[in-house]
């Protein structure tokens, strides 16, 4: 039986040998691109192409052109000389072409719809954030207007100042005439209607 220390030393040596024999990847340089069997394409340009195709498939012009081609196909294969006909009466080749067109049109339309859903989701998120900002601004302006109203409630208005000045003017006229010598100049200084201990 082999002692434990010798087996761990052998395992370390074996793992070190495999690590040393492996090529190390450099972290300061990008990896070289791997070769792929499938061709690469730009998903954005492919999505734009699918949207163009889906937009064209949804127009009346496409339906008119497709109807025209089908009618021309059928008329040619029914009335042309038998040597020039390429699709006889059951029109199997026409059915194959229409199913091929439908099999490509459906995924392209779905891809265009997915891209539109993504755009709608982004627009909805932006609208939601804009609504939140608008609500916050509205609440801020409401608080400011309420603070201004409270502040204006404590500010002397023109009518209040006019009435106070008229009272002072009456008091001065009465003083000059000598009718009430015990009254003060300002309405707050009047002793009438106030408790003496409140001063």
Confidence of residue 32 (pLDDT cuts 50, 70, 90): confident
Q: Residue 75 has what pLDDT? A: 93
The answer to whether the pTM exceeds 0.75 is: no
Locate all alpha helices (DSSP H) within 22-91, ordered by sequence: 43-57, 60-79
- Encode pLDDT of 71-97 as tens digits: 999 999 999 888 888 888 889 999 999
CA dist., res. 182 & res. 189, Å (int) = 10
The answer, yes or no, to whether residue 198 has pLDDT greater than 60, is: no
**pLDDT over 70 percentage in the chain:** 78
- Encode pLDDT of 35-50 as tens digits: 777 777 777 888 888 8
What average pLDDT does the structure give for the chain?
Answer: 80
Could you give the count of Cα atoms lying within 13 Å of 174 in the half-sphere of its Cβ?
A: 15
Q: Residue 199 has what pLDDT? A: 41
Phi-psi domain of 7 (left: phi exceeds 0; alpha: psi -120 through 50; beta: other): alpha
- Mean pLDDT is highest, among 77-86, 145-154, 156-165, 181-190, for 77-86
The answer for residues whose C-beta is within 8 angstroms of residue 111's C-beta and 6 or more apart is: 47, 50, 54
Q: Residue 142 has what pLDDT? A: 94
The answer, yes or no, to whether residue 197 has pLDDT greater than 90, is: no
In this structure, what is the dihedral angle of CA atoms 185, 186, 191, 194, given to the nearest 10 degrees?
Answer: 180
Q: Residue 189 has what pLDDT? A: 56
CA dist., res. 38 & res. 24, Å (int) = 28
Confidence of residue 184 (pLDDT cuts 50, 70, 90): low
Long-range contacts of 77-82 (CB under 8 A, 24+ apart): none
The answer, yes or no, to whether residue 194 has pLDDT greater than 50, is: no
């Amino acid at each position: 039986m082999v002692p434990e220390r010798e087996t761990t030393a052998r395992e370390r040596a074996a793992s070190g040998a495999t690590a040393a024999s492996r090529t190390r990847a450099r972290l300061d340089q990008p990896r070289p691109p791997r070769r792929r069997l499938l061709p690469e394409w730009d998903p954005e340009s492919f999505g734009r192409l699918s949207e163009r195709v889906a937009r064209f498939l949804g127009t009346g012009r496409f339906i008119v052109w497709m109807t025209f081609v089908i009618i021309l196909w059928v008329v040619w294969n029914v009335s042309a000389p038998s040597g020039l006909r390429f699709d006889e009466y059951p029109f199997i080749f026409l059915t194959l072409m229409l199913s091929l067109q439908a099999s490509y049109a459906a995924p392209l339309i779905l891809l265009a719809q997915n891209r539109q859903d993504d755009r709608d989701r982004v627009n909805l998120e932006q609208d939601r954030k804009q609504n939140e900002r608008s609500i916050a601004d509205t609440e801020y302006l409401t608080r400011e207007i309420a603070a201004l109203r409270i502040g204006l409630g404590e500010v002397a208005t023109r009518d209040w100042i006019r009435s106070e000045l008229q009272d002072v003017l009456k008091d001065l006229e009465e003083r000059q005439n000598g009718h009430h010598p015990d009254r003060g100049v300002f309405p707050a200084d009047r002793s009438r209607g106030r408790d003496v201990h409140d001063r």
